Chains A and B, each alone.
Chain A
Amino acid sequence: MKTKKPLAAIVYYLVMIIISAYCFFPMIWMVYSSFKTNLSIFKYPLALPESVSFTNWKEAWRIGKISVYAGNSLFITATTTAALLLFSAMAAYAFSRISFKGKGVLVSLFVLGLFLPIQSYFIAQNAIINFLHLGDSFFCLILPYIAMGVSLAIYILREYFSAIPTEMDESARIDGAGHAQIFWAVMLPMVTPGLATAGVFTTLSVWNEFLLALLYIQNPDMKTLTVGMYAFSGQHSTDYAMLFAGLSMITIPMILVYFMFNKVIVSGIIEGAVKG
């Protein structure tokens, strides 16, 4: 088959290259437009820049406060993911290994959480955040993000815990270990693939989240990258070159990270989505 039809191969690769171009050309256009001036973007939208200067990038970095927003997003994402993985792993462990009254009810409540759309709770969630005086602190995003993510993470991790043979923890228990020790020292290391899946999924959802971040954070210095970029585009809606630079600055690192860890990321997203 591979040698039989060279024509088929040519057609095949041509089609694939066209589709790849469709995927990437908007981004390539964005990056090279970021080196142009507003005027040349307007007059010659397709033309390559005459020279590569990072003036627009520097401007976007400074005026768009991308470092501040990226820092905020990094902090929120890291805290959320760490706390969510720990709490979900604990709960998943309990659901798979400890029998206690009301377990069935709790499990089904978490399963319900898998299906509830964000629209079903964000109105009143906002009221609760105000009631608890969490507004304009990073907690007003971290706690809702954890709440929204635990269902899926517990679901994924519970499968991983349940796949571990019970002999493992039985033998630890005979050695006198309590649940805390068993969980931390014996079981947790064995579900690392599950943690990776849930971690990738959480990290990306939190990093890209927009609706809640838009509604809950008002302090301009506490905005996340998505909302900050959106606000930046609202303020400087006519400074196209700078906006292209800002968008490039957000996009390029993400694509690099994706190329480096592509296998883990793809399986995390797909597994997370198909389970959910």
Chain B
Amino acid sequence: MKRIPLLISCLLIVLIMILTSCVQKDSPSTDPMPDESPKETASPPQTQSDVIIRLGMQFQEDSVMAVYQAAKEKFEADNPGAVIEFVLQERDLYDTIGLPTLLDGKNSPDIYFEWAGQRLIDRRAEGYLAPIPEMQGEWKEMFFESAFSGSTFDGVPHMVPQSTDISVMIWYNVKMFEELNISVPATWDEMLAACEKIKAADKIPFAVGNKGFWPAGNWGGHIISRIVGEEAYSKALMGESDFNTPEFAKAMDYLKELGIKGYINDDMSALTDEEAGVLFYTGEAAMYPLGNWVVADMNANAEEDFLADYFNLPAITGGKGDQTSVMGVNTGHVINAKTQHHDLCVAFLKVFSSTENLISMAQQGYLPPAKGVVTTENADALMVKMMDETLAGTGTVVAPPDTGYNLEIANNLYEAIAKALTGQYDSTEVLASLDEANAHLR
């Protein structure tokens, strides 16, 4: 009998050892090797009393990080004793398992980047989303009203807007279009005709890098919403109705046709979205269906003389949806409800969303939904076009499956889209197995 208390005390001793050691380990400065890159965590010499505000986000191009860095420096000058630390994750990870594990972990970020819509509803249910009642008056009025859709709960904003991302637009190689005598297609059929010309010239019509599933998923989702209509699209994605309907089957057939005709690079599923970008920038592919952030990527990776423009997904005759619809989503920064430093978070976000700072973001290819930001004086002509033509020209903004709706259904839909795009599967069968995969969510 004596060994039981002994075992328990041993257990306790080890537990205490573990706990104390991890308390000592609290700061990552116990790293055996000093951090060599000054960009990410460098900060002025810290004193013990420094408050660290962690900002969780995806990796960004250096030029975008410079904007964050400028805001950080301004904030730190205004708030002595507070330090911003960027916690960066690669994009596909952050979108999926990365952010939840980050929030769950010990160094949970105080502020983090998010997409409006279902993701925020989930964060709120998990207890990681704080209301931002400070967001009112002048601060709120600098943004367009639409900037808060998908992030307002009980009438209170929960996110500081950063950009209204257009998730799907069709980028095209201007010179190649000229050489092949292709004009910007206004309808789906014109687009297919263009593809045929491009293919005849031995080029790839669409460069798609679908390793992460969302690039073709967003694009396919947009096409589907145009054909089945926004309501049917959103009902199915919320799990309220089946996918296996004649309408969806028709939409899937449109995707299947792209696959059968060989309009997409055949290593689609092996490439990342950036790798597909290389095909586009090097002139191997004519079109590149992806979001507005391509501007930043293009500035960093394409040759100077590379000329690209974009068009919105062309109208699909007979489609039930709004044929001018844009697939887009509000993005921004939210405050973790578990933070100890709500006021400092608000202070930083105020700095970050200053008009001056938002203009810098616009110069990096973002579309801040704020007044007087994306204008010809301070932004790329393409950005102004997105703001004034594409976003202003539509009455319908459709949320991408993975940000607006149930994430698991969205992922299942993405897989169905990837399958359809191979051109090798029967559309009805694809949809039937999609419903099957969603069945347990009912």
Contact = CB atoms under 8 A, between A and B. Distances in A.
A63 B37 contact: yes
B240 interface: no
Given A136-B106, A137-B22, A139-B21, A221 B301 contact: no
A246 B92 CA distance: 21
Nearest to A230: B90
A62 B37 CA distance: 7
Contact of B105 (A71, A132, A143, A218): A218
B179 interface: no
A234 B272 contact: yes
Interface of A: 42, 62-63, 65, 67-68, 70-72, 74-75, 101-102, 130, 132-139, 143, 215, 218-222, 231, 234-235, 237-238
Interface string B278-304: 100010000000000000000001000
Given A136-B28, A218-B101, A237-B272, 14 more contacts: A62-B37, A65-B36, A70-B33, A74-B32, A130-B105, A135-B107, A137-B22, A138-B25, A218-B89, A218-B107, A219-B28, A220-B89, A221-B35, A237-B275
9 contacts: A68-B36, A101-B3, A132-B22, A133-B106, A137-B22, A218-B98, A231-B89, A234-B92, A237-B272
Nearest to A102: B3
B87 A218 contact: yes
Contacts of A71: 31-33
Contact of A75 (B32, B35, B90, B301): B32
| A-B pairs, 10 with minimum CB distance | A71-B33, A135-B105, A234-B90, A135-B106, A137-B25, A237-B272, A75-B32, A218-B102, A136-B107, A71-B32
Given A133-B22, A215-B101, A238 B37 contact: no
B19 A132 contact: yes
Contact of B104 (A130, A137, A221): A130
Nearest to A101: B3
Given A143-B18, A238-B301, A222 B28 contact: yes
Nearest to B60: A235
Contacts of A143: 18
Interface of B: 3, 15, 18-19, 21-22, 25-26, 28, 30-33, 35-37, 40-41, 59, 87-93, 97-98, 101-102, 104-107, 272, 274-275, 277-278, 282, 301
Contacts of B107: 135-136, 218-219
Contacts of A101: 3
A238 B106 contact: no
A101 B97 CA distance: 45
A222 B31 contact: yes
A130 B105 CA distance: 6
Contact of B33 (A63, A68, A234): A68
Contact of A132 (B18, B25, B91): B18
Nearest to A218: B102
A134 B274 CA distance: 35
A71 to B, nearest CB: 3
Contacts of A68: 31, 33, 35-36
Q: Which of B36, B41, B98 has the most CB of A within 10 A?
A: B36
B93 A221 contact: no
Nearest to B297: A238
B28 to A, nearest CB: 6
Given A67-B33, A130-B104, A231 B3 contact: no
Contacts of B272: 234, 237-238
A75 B106 CA distance: 20
Contacts of A65: 35-37
A136 B105 contact: yes
Contacts of A72: 31-33
A139 B59 CA distance: 26
Nearest to A237: B272
Contacts of B59: 235
Contacts of B18: 132, 134, 139, 143
A221 B36 CA distance: 10
B25 A234 contact: no
B101 A134 contact: no
Contacts of B35: 65, 68, 221
Nearest to A70: B33
A75 B25 CA distance: 14
B36 A62 contact: yes
A68 B28 CA distance: 12
